[in-house]
Amino acid sequence: MTTIARRTHCTRMQAIVRIMVGLWFLLLMSASFCDAAAADKGMRITTFSVEITPRLGRPVGLGFIPIFQTTEHPLLARGILLRDAGTACVICTLDLMEVHNESYDLLRQTIAAASDVPESHVALHCIHQHTAPAISTSAQRLELSADDPRRIATAMYLAESAQKLSVAIRASRKHWQRVDRLGTGRAVVDRVASNRRLEQADGSIRGRSSSTKSAPELRLLPEGLIDPWVRTISFEDGDRPIVQLHYYASHPQSYYSDGRVSYDVPGILRERLEIQTGAFQLYLTGCGGDVAFGKYNDGSPAARSALTARLQAGVQRSLASLKRQPVEPLIWSVEPLRFPLRTDPAFSETTNRQILNNPSAGTSRRRKAAIALAWIERVKSGKPVELSCLAIGRVKLLHLPGEPFVQYQLAAQRMRPNQFICVAGYGDCGMGYIGGDRIFTDRGGYEQTYAFAGPSEQLLLATIEKLLAGK
Protein backbone atom coordinates (compact mmCIF):
# COMPACT_ATOMS: atom_id res chain seq x y z
CA MET A 1 0.00 0.00 0.00
CA THR A 2 1.38 3.43 -0.97
CA THR A 3 1.82 6.24 1.55
CA ILE A 4 -1.12 8.12 0.03
CA ALA A 5 -3.29 4.99 0.14
CA ARG A 6 -2.32 4.37 3.75
CA ARG A 7 -3.20 7.95 4.67
CA THR A 8 -6.53 7.66 2.85
CA HIS A 9 -7.24 4.38 4.61
CA CYS A 10 -6.40 5.87 8.04
CA THR A 11 -8.54 8.92 7.32
CA ARG A 12 -11.49 6.70 6.41
CA MET A 13 -10.99 4.58 9.54
CA GLN A 14 -10.85 7.69 11.71
CA ALA A 15 -14.05 8.94 10.09
CA ILE A 16 -15.73 5.60 10.72
CA VAL A 17 -14.62 5.62 14.37
CA ARG A 18 -15.90 9.19 14.78
CA ILE A 19 -19.24 8.18 13.28
CA MET A 20 -19.47 5.12 15.55
CA VAL A 21 -18.60 7.17 18.64
CA GLY A 22 -21.14 9.76 17.57
CA LEU A 23 -23.84 7.13 17.12
CA TRP A 24 -23.00 5.62 20.51
CA PHE A 25 -23.22 9.06 22.10
CA LEU A 26 -26.57 9.69 20.41
CA LEU A 27 -27.87 6.36 21.71
CA LEU A 28 -26.84 7.26 25.24
CA MET A 29 -28.39 10.70 24.88
CA SER A 30 -31.53 9.11 23.46
CA ALA A 31 -31.83 6.79 26.49
CA SER A 32 -31.33 9.72 28.85
CA PHE A 33 -33.82 11.80 26.86
CA CYS A 34 -36.39 9.01 27.04
CA ASP A 35 -35.85 8.77 30.80
CA ALA A 36 -36.19 12.54 31.16
CA ALA A 37 -39.26 12.60 28.94
CA ALA A 38 -40.85 9.87 31.04
CA ALA A 39 -40.18 11.88 34.18
CA ASP A 40 -41.58 15.08 32.66
CA LYS A 41 -44.94 13.40 31.98
CA GLY A 42 -45.46 12.28 35.58
CA MET A 43 -44.61 9.16 37.51
CA ARG A 44 -43.17 6.27 35.52
CA ILE A 45 -42.10 2.80 36.60
CA THR A 46 -40.16 -0.03 35.01
CA THR A 47 -39.16 -3.45 36.31
CA PHE A 48 -36.31 -5.92 36.02
CA SER A 49 -35.78 -9.54 37.02
CA VAL A 50 -32.68 -11.64 36.40
CA GLU A 51 -31.49 -15.02 37.63
CA ILE A 52 -28.46 -15.00 39.97
CA THR A 53 -28.32 -18.68 40.92
CA PRO A 54 -24.73 -19.78 41.70
CA ARG A 55 -23.26 -22.55 39.61
CA LEU A 56 -23.79 -25.89 41.30
CA GLY A 57 -20.76 -27.42 42.98
CA ARG A 58 -19.03 -24.06 43.44
CA PRO A 59 -18.17 -22.98 47.02
CA VAL A 60 -19.90 -19.60 46.73
CA GLY A 61 -20.48 -17.50 49.84
CA LEU A 62 -19.27 -17.35 53.41
CA GLY A 63 -19.95 -21.03 54.05
CA PHE A 64 -22.92 -20.91 56.44
CA ILE A 65 -24.68 -23.55 54.31
CA PRO A 66 -23.43 -26.53 52.27
CA ILE A 67 -22.22 -26.17 48.69
CA PHE A 68 -25.21 -26.30 46.35
CA GLN A 69 -25.78 -29.60 44.57
CA THR A 70 -29.35 -29.22 43.29
CA THR A 71 -31.67 -26.39 42.27
CA GLU A 72 -35.29 -26.44 43.40
CA HIS A 73 -35.94 -22.80 42.46
CA PRO A 74 -33.76 -20.16 40.80
CA LEU A 75 -32.46 -17.24 42.84
CA LEU A 76 -33.53 -13.88 41.40
CA ALA A 77 -32.59 -10.23 41.58
CA ARG A 78 -35.77 -8.23 41.08
CA GLY A 79 -36.53 -4.57 41.31
CA ILE A 80 -38.19 -1.41 40.16
CA LEU A 81 -37.03 1.95 38.82
CA LEU A 82 -39.26 4.90 39.68
CA ARG A 83 -39.13 8.39 38.16
CA ASP A 84 -41.08 11.59 38.14
CA ALA A 85 -40.21 15.17 37.25
CA GLY A 86 -38.04 15.63 40.35
CA THR A 87 -36.72 12.28 41.57
CA ALA A 88 -35.43 8.92 40.36
CA CYS A 89 -34.78 5.90 42.55
CA VAL A 90 -34.42 2.11 42.60
CA ILE A 91 -35.69 -0.56 44.98
CA CYS A 92 -34.01 -3.93 44.39
CA THR A 93 -34.37 -7.27 46.18
CA LEU A 94 -31.95 -10.19 46.09
CA ASP A 95 -32.74 -13.84 46.79
CA LEU A 96 -29.64 -14.01 48.97
CA MET A 97 -29.05 -14.57 52.67
CA GLU A 98 -26.94 -11.43 53.14
CA VAL A 99 -24.51 -9.08 51.40
CA HIS A 100 -21.89 -7.17 53.43
CA ASN A 101 -19.71 -4.08 53.18
CA GLU A 102 -17.69 -3.75 49.94
CA SER A 103 -19.75 -6.48 48.20
CA TYR A 104 -22.93 -4.56 48.99
CA ASP A 105 -21.30 -1.33 47.81
CA LEU A 106 -20.27 -2.92 44.50
CA LEU A 107 -23.79 -4.13 43.71
CA ARG A 108 -25.33 -0.83 44.76
CA GLN A 109 -22.89 1.14 42.61
CA THR A 110 -23.60 -1.17 39.67
CA ILE A 111 -27.34 -0.65 40.03
CA ALA A 112 -26.90 3.11 40.30
CA ALA A 113 -24.74 3.31 37.16
CA ALA A 114 -27.10 1.13 35.13
CA SER A 115 -30.14 3.09 36.33
CA ASP A 116 -28.55 6.53 35.93
CA VAL A 117 -29.45 7.49 39.50
CA PRO A 118 -27.24 8.54 42.44
CA GLU A 119 -25.95 5.64 44.53
CA SER A 120 -27.75 7.13 47.53
CA HIS A 121 -31.04 6.64 45.66
CA VAL A 122 -30.65 2.85 45.48
CA ALA A 123 -32.32 0.72 48.17
CA LEU A 124 -30.84 -2.79 47.94
CA HIS A 125 -32.25 -5.52 50.19
CA CYS A 126 -31.71 -9.23 50.63
CA ILE A 127 -34.77 -11.35 51.36
CA HIS A 128 -32.62 -13.52 53.66
CA GLN A 129 -33.45 -17.04 52.52
CA HIS A 130 -31.06 -19.59 54.07
CA THR A 131 -31.20 -21.64 50.87
CA ALA A 132 -29.02 -18.93 49.30
CA PRO A 133 -25.46 -17.74 49.98
CA ALA A 134 -24.22 -14.88 52.15
CA ILE A 135 -21.65 -12.71 50.37
CA SER A 136 -18.78 -10.76 51.94
CA THR A 137 -15.62 -10.46 49.88
CA SER A 138 -14.18 -8.17 52.56
CA ALA A 139 -14.45 -10.90 55.21
CA GLN A 140 -13.05 -13.52 52.85
CA ARG A 141 -10.09 -11.28 52.05
CA LEU A 142 -9.22 -11.41 55.76
CA GLU A 143 -10.02 -15.10 56.29
CA LEU A 144 -8.84 -16.87 53.13
CA SER A 145 -5.72 -16.92 50.98
CA ALA A 146 -5.89 -15.35 47.52
CA ASP A 147 -5.95 -18.77 45.84
CA ASP A 148 -8.62 -20.28 48.09
CA PRO A 149 -11.40 -21.81 45.92
CA ARG A 150 -14.16 -20.27 48.05
CA ARG A 151 -12.69 -16.78 47.79
CA ILE A 152 -12.23 -17.13 44.01
CA ALA A 153 -15.72 -18.59 43.44
CA THR A 154 -17.39 -15.88 45.53
CA ALA A 155 -15.57 -13.05 43.77
CA MET A 156 -16.51 -14.52 40.38
CA TYR A 157 -20.13 -14.93 41.46
CA LEU A 158 -20.31 -11.34 42.67
CA ALA A 159 -18.87 -10.01 39.41
CA GLU A 160 -21.20 -12.16 37.31
CA SER A 161 -24.25 -11.09 39.34
CA ALA A 162 -23.29 -7.43 38.99
CA GLN A 163 -22.96 -7.81 35.23
CA LYS A 164 -26.34 -9.55 34.95
CA LEU A 165 -27.98 -6.81 37.00
CA SER A 166 -26.44 -4.09 34.85
CA VAL A 167 -27.67 -5.66 31.61
CA ALA A 168 -31.19 -6.27 32.98
CA ILE A 169 -31.57 -2.77 34.36
CA ARG A 170 -30.33 -1.06 31.19
CA ALA A 171 -32.78 -3.13 29.15
CA SER A 172 -35.64 -2.22 31.50
CA ARG A 173 -35.18 1.48 30.77
CA LYS A 174 -36.78 0.94 27.37
CA HIS A 175 -40.10 -0.09 28.97
CA TRP A 176 -41.38 2.68 31.21
CA GLN A 177 -45.05 2.51 32.22
CA ARG A 178 -47.28 5.28 33.51
CA VAL A 179 -48.43 5.30 37.15
CA ASP A 180 -51.37 7.50 38.10
CA ARG A 181 -52.72 5.70 41.19
CA LEU A 182 -51.20 4.26 44.33
CA GLY A 183 -52.96 1.58 46.34
CA THR A 184 -52.24 0.75 50.00
CA GLY A 185 -53.54 -2.23 51.91
CA ARG A 186 -52.76 -4.39 54.90
CA ALA A 187 -54.02 -7.55 56.56
CA VAL A 188 -53.18 -9.77 59.51
CA VAL A 189 -51.24 -12.93 58.64
CA ASP A 190 -52.43 -15.96 60.59
CA ARG A 191 -50.01 -18.48 62.14
CA VAL A 192 -46.77 -17.67 60.34
CA ALA A 193 -44.45 -15.43 62.40
CA SER A 194 -43.25 -15.89 66.00
CA ASN A 195 -40.53 -14.29 68.10
CA ARG A 196 -37.21 -16.09 68.39
CA ARG A 197 -36.27 -14.73 71.84
CA LEU A 198 -38.62 -15.91 74.56
CA GLU A 199 -38.17 -14.44 78.03
CA GLN A 200 -38.41 -16.99 80.82
CA ALA A 201 -39.73 -16.49 84.35
CA ASP A 202 -36.20 -15.90 85.65
CA GLY A 203 -35.58 -13.21 83.03
CA SER A 204 -33.31 -15.36 80.85
CA ILE A 205 -33.86 -15.78 77.11
CA ARG A 206 -34.74 -19.07 75.46
CA GLY A 207 -34.21 -19.26 71.72
CA ARG A 208 -36.75 -20.54 69.19
CA SER A 209 -35.32 -20.64 65.69
CA SER A 210 -36.83 -21.05 62.23
CA SER A 211 -38.06 -24.59 62.89
CA THR A 212 -38.80 -26.64 65.98
CA LYS A 213 -38.47 -30.19 64.73
CA SER A 214 -36.02 -31.14 67.49
CA ALA A 215 -37.81 -29.15 70.21
CA PRO A 216 -41.59 -29.49 69.64
CA GLU A 217 -42.33 -28.03 73.10
CA LEU A 218 -41.29 -24.62 71.73
CA ARG A 219 -44.32 -24.68 69.45
CA LEU A 220 -46.56 -24.53 72.53
CA LEU A 221 -45.09 -21.23 73.72
CA PRO A 222 -46.70 -17.88 72.76
CA GLU A 223 -45.93 -16.06 69.52
CA GLY A 224 -44.21 -13.28 71.43
CA LEU A 225 -43.59 -9.81 69.99
CA ILE A 226 -44.22 -9.68 66.23
CA ASP A 227 -45.79 -7.37 63.65
CA PRO A 228 -48.69 -9.56 62.44
CA TRP A 229 -49.55 -7.33 59.46
CA VAL A 230 -48.46 -7.73 55.85
CA ARG A 231 -48.51 -4.39 54.02
CA THR A 232 -48.98 -3.90 50.29
CA ILE A 233 -48.18 -1.03 47.92
CA SER A 234 -49.75 -1.19 44.46
CA PHE A 235 -48.53 1.03 41.59
CA GLU A 236 -51.34 1.26 39.04
CA ASP A 237 -52.30 2.80 35.73
CA GLY A 238 -56.03 3.36 35.90
CA ASP A 239 -57.57 0.06 36.94
CA ARG A 240 -54.50 -1.97 35.96
CA PRO A 241 -51.98 -2.94 38.65
CA ILE A 242 -48.42 -2.76 37.31
CA VAL A 243 -46.22 -3.44 40.33
CA GLN A 244 -47.07 -4.62 43.84
CA LEU A 245 -44.74 -4.60 46.84
CA HIS A 246 -45.40 -6.71 49.95
CA TYR A 247 -43.66 -6.16 53.30
CA TYR A 248 -43.65 -8.78 56.07
CA ALA A 249 -41.36 -9.06 59.10
CA SER A 250 -39.99 -12.56 59.62
CA HIS A 251 -37.02 -14.73 58.76
CA PRO A 252 -38.40 -16.32 55.57
CA GLN A 253 -36.80 -19.79 55.54
CA SER A 254 -38.66 -23.06 56.06
CA TYR A 255 -35.98 -25.80 55.82
CA TYR A 256 -32.40 -25.63 54.55
CA SER A 257 -28.77 -26.89 54.84
CA ASP A 258 -29.40 -29.76 52.42
CA GLY A 259 -27.39 -28.53 49.42
CA ARG A 260 -30.51 -27.24 47.67
CA VAL A 261 -30.94 -23.83 46.02
CA SER A 262 -34.39 -22.36 46.61
CA TYR A 263 -36.11 -19.00 46.80
CA ASP A 264 -38.27 -20.63 49.50
CA VAL A 265 -41.56 -19.21 50.80
CA PRO A 266 -41.14 -15.62 49.48
CA GLY A 267 -40.29 -16.77 45.96
CA ILE A 268 -43.11 -19.31 45.82
CA LEU A 269 -45.53 -16.62 47.00
CA ARG A 270 -44.15 -14.10 44.52
CA GLU A 271 -44.62 -16.47 41.59
CA ARG A 272 -48.18 -17.37 42.55
CA LEU A 273 -49.19 -13.74 42.97
CA GLU A 274 -47.70 -12.79 39.62
CA ILE A 275 -49.80 -15.44 37.89
CA GLN A 276 -52.88 -14.42 39.85
CA THR A 277 -52.65 -10.63 39.40
CA GLY A 278 -50.67 -10.13 36.20
CA ALA A 279 -48.63 -7.51 38.07
CA PHE A 280 -44.90 -7.58 38.80
CA GLN A 281 -44.36 -8.69 42.41
CA LEU A 282 -41.71 -7.72 44.96
CA TYR A 283 -41.46 -9.28 48.42
CA LEU A 284 -39.43 -7.42 51.05
CA THR A 285 -38.46 -8.81 54.45
CA GLY A 286 -39.12 -6.31 57.22
CA CYS A 287 -37.50 -6.09 60.67
CA GLY A 288 -37.39 -9.83 61.20
CA GLY A 289 -34.08 -10.16 63.04
CA ASP A 290 -35.79 -11.68 66.09
CA VAL A 291 -38.80 -13.17 64.26
CA ALA A 292 -39.07 -16.49 62.41
CA PHE A 293 -41.50 -19.29 61.50
CA GLY A 294 -40.48 -21.47 64.48
CA LYS A 295 -43.78 -21.80 66.35
CA TYR A 296 -45.54 -23.02 63.21
CA ASN A 297 -42.73 -24.84 61.42
CA ASP A 298 -41.38 -28.34 62.00
CA GLY A 299 -38.94 -28.06 59.10
CA SER A 300 -40.91 -30.30 56.73
CA PRO A 301 -42.05 -29.72 53.13
CA ALA A 302 -45.65 -29.99 54.36
CA ALA A 303 -45.05 -27.17 56.85
CA ARG A 304 -43.58 -25.01 54.08
CA SER A 305 -46.68 -25.53 51.98
CA ALA A 306 -48.93 -24.57 54.89
CA LEU A 307 -46.85 -21.50 55.79
CA THR A 308 -46.85 -20.33 52.16
CA ALA A 309 -50.61 -20.81 51.88
CA ARG A 310 -51.30 -18.83 55.06
CA LEU A 311 -48.95 -16.01 54.06
CA GLN A 312 -50.56 -15.94 50.60
CA ALA A 313 -54.01 -15.74 52.18
CA GLY A 314 -52.83 -12.74 54.20
CA VAL A 315 -51.46 -11.02 51.10
CA GLN A 316 -54.69 -11.67 49.22
CA ARG A 317 -56.65 -10.06 52.07
CA SER A 318 -54.22 -7.14 51.89
CA LEU A 319 -54.83 -6.82 48.15
CA ALA A 320 -58.59 -6.95 48.71
CA SER A 321 -58.29 -4.06 51.19
CA LEU A 322 -56.42 -1.71 48.83
CA LYS A 323 -57.39 1.94 49.03
CA ARG A 324 -56.44 3.99 45.98
CA GLN A 325 -55.29 7.58 45.73
CA PRO A 326 -53.69 9.72 43.02
CA VAL A 327 -49.91 9.63 42.99
CA GLU A 328 -47.98 12.47 44.57
CA PRO A 329 -44.38 13.57 43.93
CA LEU A 330 -41.59 11.20 44.91
CA ILE A 331 -39.42 12.43 47.78
CA TRP A 332 -36.26 10.48 48.61
CA SER A 333 -34.49 11.13 51.91
CA VAL A 334 -31.10 9.76 53.01
CA GLU A 335 -29.44 9.74 56.43
CA PRO A 336 -25.93 8.44 57.16
CA LEU A 337 -25.54 6.38 60.33
CA ARG A 338 -22.22 5.64 62.03
CA PHE A 339 -22.70 2.64 64.27
CA PRO A 340 -20.35 2.36 67.25
CA LEU A 341 -18.07 -0.62 67.70
CA ARG A 342 -18.61 -3.10 70.51
CA THR A 343 -16.21 -2.66 73.42
CA ASP A 344 -16.41 -6.16 74.96
CA PRO A 345 -13.16 -8.13 74.45
CA ALA A 346 -14.71 -10.93 72.37
CA PHE A 347 -15.49 -8.39 69.62
CA SER A 348 -12.20 -6.49 69.71
CA GLU A 349 -9.75 -6.28 66.83
CA THR A 350 -7.01 -7.91 68.92
CA THR A 351 -9.08 -10.94 69.88
CA ASN A 352 -10.34 -11.59 66.37
CA ARG A 353 -6.92 -11.21 64.76
CA GLN A 354 -5.61 -13.77 67.24
CA ILE A 355 -8.33 -16.17 66.11
CA LEU A 356 -7.44 -15.68 62.44
CA ASN A 357 -3.75 -16.19 63.22
CA ASN A 358 -4.46 -19.42 65.11
CA PRO A 359 -4.15 -22.42 62.74
CA SER A 360 -6.09 -24.57 65.22
CA ALA A 361 -9.16 -22.30 65.22
CA GLY A 362 -12.22 -23.96 63.69
CA THR A 363 -13.89 -22.80 60.48
CA SER A 364 -16.90 -21.19 62.15
CA ARG A 365 -14.71 -19.24 64.61
CA ARG A 366 -12.47 -18.01 61.80
CA ARG A 367 -15.45 -16.99 59.67
CA LYS A 368 -17.01 -15.04 62.53
CA ALA A 369 -13.69 -13.38 63.36
CA ALA A 370 -13.28 -12.32 59.73
CA ILE A 371 -16.80 -10.84 59.64
CA ALA A 372 -16.08 -8.95 62.86
CA LEU A 373 -12.78 -7.60 61.52
CA ALA A 374 -14.34 -6.57 58.22
CA TRP A 375 -16.92 -4.57 60.16
CA ILE A 376 -14.22 -3.00 62.35
CA GLU A 377 -12.34 -1.96 59.21
CA ARG A 378 -15.54 -0.47 57.79
CA VAL A 379 -16.22 1.59 60.91
CA LYS A 380 -12.61 2.76 61.26
CA SER A 381 -12.59 3.86 57.60
CA GLY A 382 -15.25 6.43 58.49
CA LYS A 383 -17.66 5.20 55.83
CA PRO A 384 -21.21 5.39 57.25
CA VAL A 385 -24.14 3.13 56.47
CA GLU A 386 -26.87 4.93 54.53
CA LEU A 387 -30.52 4.62 55.51
CA SER A 388 -33.19 5.96 53.18
CA CYS A 389 -36.91 6.60 52.89
CA LEU A 390 -39.13 7.03 49.85
CA ALA A 391 -42.15 9.22 50.53
CA ILE A 392 -45.16 9.32 48.18
CA GLY A 393 -47.61 11.52 50.01
CA ARG A 394 -48.64 9.75 53.22
CA VAL A 395 -46.90 6.54 52.13
CA LYS A 396 -43.37 6.02 53.49
CA LEU A 397 -41.06 3.17 52.44
CA LEU A 398 -38.25 2.94 54.99
CA HIS A 399 -35.00 1.10 54.15
CA LEU A 400 -32.85 -0.24 57.00
CA PRO A 401 -29.56 -2.16 57.18
CA GLY A 402 -28.64 -5.39 58.94
CA GLU A 403 -31.03 -7.74 60.70
CA PRO A 404 -33.08 -5.26 62.73
CA PHE A 405 -35.37 -6.47 65.49
CA VAL A 406 -39.11 -6.02 65.02
CA GLN A 407 -39.18 -3.32 67.72
CA TYR A 408 -37.78 -0.83 65.18
CA GLN A 409 -40.55 -1.49 62.68
CA LEU A 410 -43.20 -1.11 65.38
CA ALA A 411 -41.51 2.07 66.62
CA ALA A 412 -41.50 3.59 63.11
CA GLN A 413 -45.23 2.94 62.80
CA ARG A 414 -45.90 4.55 66.18
CA MET A 415 -43.91 7.62 65.13
CA ARG A 416 -46.32 8.27 62.25
CA PRO A 417 -49.66 6.63 63.12
CA ASN A 418 -51.50 8.56 60.39
CA GLN A 419 -49.14 7.50 57.62
CA PHE A 420 -48.71 4.18 55.81
CA ILE A 421 -45.28 2.96 56.92
CA CYS A 422 -43.58 -0.01 55.24
CA VAL A 423 -40.18 -1.14 56.49
CA ALA A 424 -37.55 -3.26 54.72
CA GLY A 425 -34.54 -4.63 56.58
CA TYR A 426 -31.52 -6.60 55.34
CA GLY A 427 -29.74 -3.83 53.48
CA ASP A 428 -25.98 -3.83 54.13
CA CYS A 429 -25.66 -6.63 56.70
CA GLY A 430 -22.04 -6.04 57.70
CA MET A 431 -23.05 -5.25 61.29
CA GLY A 432 -25.23 -8.36 61.68
CA TYR A 433 -28.15 -8.23 64.10
CA ILE A 434 -29.43 -4.87 65.32
CA GLY A 435 -31.33 -5.47 68.54
CA GLY A 436 -32.38 -3.21 71.35
CA ASP A 437 -29.66 -2.27 73.82
CA ARG A 438 -30.91 -4.85 76.33
CA ILE A 439 -29.52 -7.72 74.22
CA PHE A 440 -26.02 -6.83 75.45
CA THR A 441 -27.00 -7.76 79.00
CA ASP A 442 -29.40 -10.62 78.21
CA ARG A 443 -28.74 -14.09 79.58
CA GLY A 444 -29.32 -16.57 76.81
CA GLY A 445 -30.29 -16.04 73.20
CA TYR A 446 -28.17 -16.15 70.07
CA GLU A 447 -28.56 -12.88 68.20
CA GLN A 448 -26.28 -10.79 70.41
CA THR A 449 -23.41 -13.17 69.60
CA TYR A 450 -23.67 -12.10 65.94
CA ALA A 451 -24.25 -8.38 66.56
CA PHE A 452 -21.03 -6.56 65.64
CA ALA A 453 -22.15 -2.99 66.35
CA GLY A 454 -22.35 -1.70 69.89
CA PRO A 455 -25.44 -0.31 71.64
CA SER A 456 -27.18 1.94 69.12
CA GLU A 457 -30.90 1.80 69.88
CA GLN A 458 -31.38 5.54 70.42
CA LEU A 459 -29.14 6.40 67.48
CA LEU A 460 -31.14 4.22 65.11
CA LEU A 461 -34.48 5.48 66.42
CA ALA A 462 -33.36 9.10 66.00
CA THR A 463 -32.26 8.38 62.42
CA ILE A 464 -35.60 6.73 61.62
CA GLU A 465 -37.39 9.77 63.04
CA LYS A 466 -35.38 12.08 60.77
CA LEU A 467 -36.16 10.01 57.71
CA LEU A 468 -39.87 9.83 58.42
CA ALA A 469 -39.91 13.57 58.99
CA GLY A 470 -38.21 14.08 55.63
CA LYS A 471 -35.44 16.20 57.14
User: What is 287-323 written as a DSSP string?
Assistant: S-TTEESGGG--SSHHHHHHHHHHHHHHHHHHHHT-E
Q: pLDDT digits over 104-123, tens only?
A: 999 999 999 999 999 999 99
Give domain status of residue 207, yes or no: yes
Give domain status of residue 274, yes or no: yes
Of 386, 365, 364, the C-alpha closest to 430 is: 386
What average pLDDT does this structure show over 288-296? 97
pLDDT of residue 213: 85
Q: Give the pLDDT band (50/70/90) at residue 471.
A: low
Give domain status of residue 3, yes or no: no
Distance CA 196, CA 398 (A): 23
Q: Give the pLDDT band (50/70/90) at residue 13.
A: very low
Question: Is residue 445 helix, strand or coil?
Answer: coil
The per-residue DSSP string of 104-134 comes to: HHHHHHHHHHHHTS-GGGEEEEE---SSS-E
Phi, psi of 238 (to 5 degrees): 65, -125
Is residue 53 scored above 50 in pLDDT? yes
> What angle is formed at CA 151 by the lines to CA 145 and CA 154, rounded to 5 degrees?
170
Give domain status of residue 25, yes or no: no
What average pLDDT does this structure show over 407-418? 98
Distance CA 111, CA 105 (A): 10
Give domain status of residue 16, yes or no: no
Provide the number of structural domains found in the chain. 1
**Amino acid found at 105:** D
Element (H, E) at 421: strand 420-424
Give domain status of residue 4, yes or no: no
Q: Give the pLDDT band (50/70/90) at residue 214.
A: confident
Query: Left (φ > 0), alpha (ψ -120 to 50) or beta: where does 382 sit?
Result: left
Least confident window among 4-13, 198-207, 324-333, 383-392: 4-13
Distance CA 374, CA 429 (A): 11
Averaged pLDDT of the chain: 92
Is residue 72 scored above 60 in pLDDT? yes
pLDDT of residue 154: 98
Is residue 88 scored above 90 in pLDDT? yes
What average pLDDT does this structure show over 316-344? 97
Give domain status of residue 32, yes or no: no
What average pLDDT does this structure show over 298-325? 97
Strand partners, 323: 184
Is residue 354 scored above 60 in pLDDT? yes
pLDDT of residue 35: 52
E-assigned strands of 275-402? 280-285, 291-292, 323-326, 330-337, 385-392, 395-399
Cβ contact 143:467 at 8 Å: no
The per-residue DSSP string of 195-253 comes to: ESEEE-TTS-EEE--S--TT-GGGGGS---S---EEEEEEEEETTEEEEEEEEE-S---
pLDDT of residue 58: 97
Domain that holds residue 298: 37-469
Give domain status of residue 22, yes or no: no
